[in-house]
Amino acid sequence: MNVLIVFAHPNPRSFNRAILDTLDEALRACGHATRIHDLYQMRFRAVLDDDDLARNWRGDLPDDILHEQEAVRWAQGLVFIYPVWWFGPPALLKGWIDRVFVRKFAFDFSADGMRGLLQHEKALILNTLGGDAATYSRERWEELLMRPLAEGVLGACGVRDVRYQAFYEVTSCSPATRQAMLDEVRALAALF
């Protein structure tokens, strides 16, 4: 399978980067082809502005968006790796979705309402958090993290099978716990 990994963390020495490297290696070892779009390294322009809206309307998309859409089309599997910042993705990733998943590419409207146009079989969302799992479970906060991207974006755009995995307390856990998390990441490659 072709797998596009969209990565949003500014620090190349972060735990998120270790997750990216681990998953990429495991996917390739399973025989999949991967492409990594490291949004900070690409200096992706993240703000959907007035010019973008006008160009969307005319169907005259800028080259940076066409480039991203080509990569999304190339893939049958999508992966998103990012830290949770204020209960959501870094603004750069939110802006990537705003600008790339536009009408007539990711979705369209029909008489029955919105219709997803993406054909991907699978998507995987990997999050890291400073908070602890017990609190997120008790307060049902994990739903707030998962559902906007898993259902509001990917599900709505037609992606059939979306798996969500959060790693808690990554800022305070032991090196052994982090290693165990990376082992879990490696095992997740089998989803594709």
**Applying CB under 6 A, which residues contact ligand FMN?**
9, 14-16, 83-87, 128-131, 170-171
CB of 45 to ligand FMN, least distance (A): 20
SS3 of residue 143 by DSSP: helix
Q: Which is nearer to ligand FMN, 121 or 132 (CB)?
A: 132
The helices-and-strands tally (H runs, E runs) of the chain is 7, 7
Q: How far apart are CA 130 and CA 37, in angstroms?
A: 24
Residue 76 and residue 160 in contact, taking contact as beta carbons nearer than 8 Å: no
CB of 162 to ligand FMN, least distance (A): 20
CB of 104 to ligand FMN, least distance (A): 34
Q: Which is nearer to ligand FMN, 71 or 91 (CB)?
A: 91
Q: Which is nearer to ligand FMN, 61 or 182 (CB)?
A: 182
Residue 140 and residue 101 in contact, taking contact as beta carbons nearer than 8 Å: no
